Every structure is written in C-alpha cells, then in structure tokens.
Amino acid sequence: MREVSTRSRAPRILIAGVLVVGGLAMMFPFVWTVVTSLTPGANLGSPIRLWPENPSLGAYEILFTERPFARVVMNSLMLAAITTIVQLFTSATAAYAFSRLPFRGRGIVFAVYLATMMIPLQVLIVPLFAQLRTFGLLNTYLGALLPTFATAFGIFLLRQAINQVPRELDEAATLDGAGHFRIFATIILPNIKPALATLTIFAFMGSWNSFLWPLIVLRDPNLQTLPIALSGLQGQYTTAWDVVMAGSVISVLPMLAIYLFAQKYIIQGVASSGIK
C-alpha cells in the first residue's frame, strides 16, 4: 500500500508544480496591468516592473470623478446581463429542437445557423447599421441588444451537451406522460448545467467585450459601454497609461466574478446520476 501511494505522489506533485508555475505566467499580464494602473505617469516604454513606483489610486479617482465611468460600467453590466439571459433562453430552446425534435431538413437548418458565424462582423456592420436606422433603433439600448439575442455559438454548444444526455431519460419521461416542454424543463435543462454555466460565461463576455457594434450604434455618450470608453481614454490621454490600465482592471473584474460564480456549476458528473 505504502509503495503505491509514494509512487503516485511524485507525478501528482510534479503536475501541481507545473500548474502553479504556469499559473504565475498566466497571471503576469494582469498583474502588470494592475501595477501600471497604480503607477502615476506610467510610461509603456520603460522596463516592465512588478511593483509600482509611488503607488497611488489616482488613476481610479480620475475614472470615476472626471469621467463618467460609473455610468459606463452600469450600461455595460445591463447590456451584458440582458444578452446573457436572452441567449440562454434562445440557445437552449433551439438546441433542444436540433437534438430532440427531428424534422425534414433539420440538417440544412442547422447548417444555416452555423453559417451565421462565418461572415466577419466587420462586413455585416454596414448593412446592419442601415437596417437599424430604418427601424429607428440607432442610439437605443434595444438597437445594441437585438443582434446579440441569438448566437449559433450558444446553440451549437448546448446542442452538443444535450446530445450527451442519455435518450433513455426522455423515453422514461415520455412513458410517464411528459410532453416535450416537460422533458425540456425537467430532464434536459437540469442535466446540462455545466454547459449552461459555460454559455453564461461566454455570452456575458461576448457582450462585455464587444466593441465594433456598440461603437457604431450607441453614439450618445450617455449610452456608451466600457470598451468604447476605454478606447476613448487612449485617444484623449495619450500618455496617461495608468488611467487606461485602471480602466482595463475595472473591465476584467466583473468578468472574473461571473467566471468564479458560474464555475461552481461546472462540476460533478450529472449524467451518471441519471442512468443506473
């Protein structure tokens, strides 16, 4: 017994060591961002330091007093929250159809869904802009939101997950008299929690980081989102890198919070509890 445990401990410690060293490397750009944000008059040309010279929170103060960052963060949070909730709904329903509701031409419809990911946004933006102008949706939150309501990414992600749920579970529920809506709500959704949590992270992130579309639709400064306000800082304060980096830190923190929250649901083998 003892021999076995010492033999398996060595590789385990090695893996842990590699993970920690790798982790430090992964953290490095973020740490540097924080350090730069705390360094008044930071200069990107100077060598990278891991401790700020004369640390100060001045950059953060500038963001929230001289610039409308509180408002900007609220705008971004609201848009990201709505996008995430709507996308979870549209993705789960469509994924259920593509996994569990066969119909003639389903393969083709799914291919068309996937095809919506294959044209670069840089080109769609011109006609989309004209379209929203005719609907009178420029400079409205709704205009920024509508194109984000459904994504093939989310549908595809959840379809893969639903395909993994054993069909025996549906069949058992059908025998109990459950229809598709009941199966969807009581069998499928609880069994794809890890995928739903994953989609929550990516839907939120997609909205939170999106740049080009909000830049074009939301011209009113009151409606501005975080990435656009950040790029605005770079224009106006060409040398104030501490302010830009403070903005970057603020932009990373909510994402990290969402990740840590959603991660709790990316656990445990759900499928194993379903079938014997």
Partner 1 sequence: MTSILPLTEPAIAARAATDSDDTSAHPGAPRRTARGSRARRVRYALTVLVFLLPSAIPLTLFVLTPMVSAAWISLHDWNLLSPMTFVGLDNFAGLITDPDTARVFGNTVYYIVGYLPLVYIGGLALALALNRAMRGRNLLRGIYFLPVVTSWIVVAIVWRWLLAPENGVVNGVLGFFGIDGPGWWTDPSWSMPSIILASAWKDLGFVMVILLAGLQSINTDLYDAAKVDGAGPWRRLISVTLPMLSPSTFFVVVISLINGFQVFDQVYAMTGGGPAGSSQVVVGEIYDLTFRYGSAGEASALSWMLFVVILAATVVQVIGQKRWVHYA
CB 57, min distance to partner 1, A: 19
State the Cα–Cα distance between residues 249 and 38, nearest whole angstrom.
11
Phi, psi (5° rounding) for residue 270?
-75, -40
Spatial neighbors of 225 by CB under 8 A, at least 6 apart, are 72, 75, 76, 79, 144, 210, 214, 218
Closer to partner 1 by CB, 65 or 260: give it.
260
Number of H helices, E strands in the chain: 15, 0
Among residues 35, 62, 63, 155, the one that binds partner 1 under rule CB under 8 A: 155
Per-residue mark of binding to partner 1, 230-269 (x: CB under 8 A): x--------------x--x--xx--xx--xx--x--xxxx
Cβ distance 63 to 232 under 8 Å? no
Cβ distance 226 to 208 under 8 Å? yes
Cβ distance 194 to 265 under 8 Å? yes
CB 55, min distance to partner 1, A: 19
State the Cα–Cα distance between residues 145 and 206, nearest whole angstrom.
12
CB 260, min distance to partner 1, A: 6
CB 186, min distance to partner 1, A: 16
Enter the tokens of residue 257.
Answer: 């919070």
Site membership for partner 1, residue 89 (CB under 8 A): yes
Cβ distance 139 to 217 under 8 Å? yes
Closer to partner 1 by CB, 75 or 156: give it.
156
Closer to partner 1 by CB, 107 or 221: give it.
107
In the region spanning residues 169 to 208, those forming contacts with partner 1, defined by CB under 8 A, are: 170-171, 174, 179-181, 184, 191-192, 194-195, 197-198, 201, 205
In the region spanning residues 92 to 131, those forming contacts with partner 1, defined by CB under 8 A, are: 93-94, 96-97, 99-107, 109, 111-120, 122-128, 130-131
State the Cα–Cα distance between residues 20 and 52, nearest whole angstrom.
24
Closer to partner 1 by CB, 65 or 256: give it.
256
Among residues 78, 82, 215, 270, the one that binds partner 1 under rule CB under 8 A: 270
In the region spanning residues 58 to 87, those forming contacts with partner 1, defined by CB under 8 A, are: none
First-to-last alpha carbon distance for the chain, in angstroms, is 31
In the region spanning residues 10 to 49, those forming contacts with partner 1, defined by CB under 8 A, are: 12, 15-16, 18-20, 22-23, 26-30, 32-33, 44, 48
